[in-house]
Amino acid sequence: MKLQMGLGALLVAVVLMFGSVFVVSEGHTAIVLHLGRISRVNLQPGLHFKWPLVETARIFDTRLQVLPAEPERYLTSERKDVSVDFFAVGQIEDARAFYRATGGDEGAAVDRLAPIIKDALRNEINSRTLQQAVSGDRTAIVRSQLDTINRGAATLGVRITDLRIKQIDLPTDSRVIDDVYNRMRAQRQQVASRLRAEGEEQANEVRARADSDRQVILAEAERDAQKLRGEGDAEATRLYAEAANRDPAFYAFQRSLEAYRAAFDGKHSSVIVLDRNDPFLQYMKADR
């Protein structure tokens, strides 16, 4: 009997000993509840004691945590619909406030933080155009709202150290994509029309310059041809004159042959009626 009582007392002592000791790891903090009411807070890493049965310890992770969020749809200043995918990085800063606000439930903290972050982003996106939101400095969007977010997060005992926008998309079920494509298409068409107009203008200039050069070349060629023809005619006249002066009879004979050839070329059916003593026929007479 005494042995059983001793073993029972030892068991109770072991239970009480283990129930009165707890360990806080690095990167964590703890609070102690005395009958459900907070008695000690922000306990540092190490070995700690509490009264068994009447005190309980709650340990919280104070390391940086990534707070996931679903993509949220916002309207720009032009009333264009965009989908913003983001995430926040935060940590528990005040264990007392965190426990009082959420009961120590990290999921509840994330659910309460999400509207605060989304409302802050909404204010920034609403004040920007679509181009500024998509292609602008995303760090500036976050930086201007981080203090506002932390004022709301402080009521939960949490501090947001960073907020990052992963991407900003155009929702596939909205008219924004069509509007963007139509605007891009219109811009490309304007560029194409401008390039075509510039090309046509340059082509007209080239054609006009070519036509002008052609006229100049033709005029110069005609001038040179007239000059050469004139020089040839002059040379021929000179040669004919020399030949006529050297042998007038032969010159007369040659000119008569050319006249005969022109008159009797066989291409015409005309009949020439001449007197037998006509000088035109002087070289056709047998006595010559």
The number of beta carbons lying within 10 Å of the beta carbon of residue 84 is 22
What does the longest C-alpha to C-alpha distance in the chain come to?
A: 188
In contact, 153 and 160? CB cutoff 8 Å: yes
User: Of 196, 199, 97, which is closest to residue 150 (Cα–Cα)?
Assistant: 97
For the chain, which residues make up each domain, given as ranges? 2-61, 65-174, 252-284
What fold characterizes domain 65-174?
A: Tetrahydropterin Synthase; Chain A (3.30.479)
pLDDT at residue number 159: 92
Q: What is the pLDDT along the chain (288 residues), one digit of tens a residue?
A: 555 555 555 554 555 555 678 888 898 989 898 888 888 888 888 888 888 878 888 889 889 888 878 888 888 888 888 888 888 899 999 999 999 998 888 888 888 898 888 888 888 888 888 777 777 677 777 777 888 889 989 999 999 998 888 888 776 655 655 666 677 788 888 888 888 888 888 888 888 888 888 888 988 888 888 888 888 888 877 777 777 677 666 666 667 667 666 666 666 566 666 566 666 566 555 554
**How many Cα atoms sit within 13 Å of 93 on the Cβ side?**
13
Under DSSP, the state recorded for 94 is: -
Pairing state between β 46-49 and 21-24: antiparallel
d(CA 12, CA 10): 5
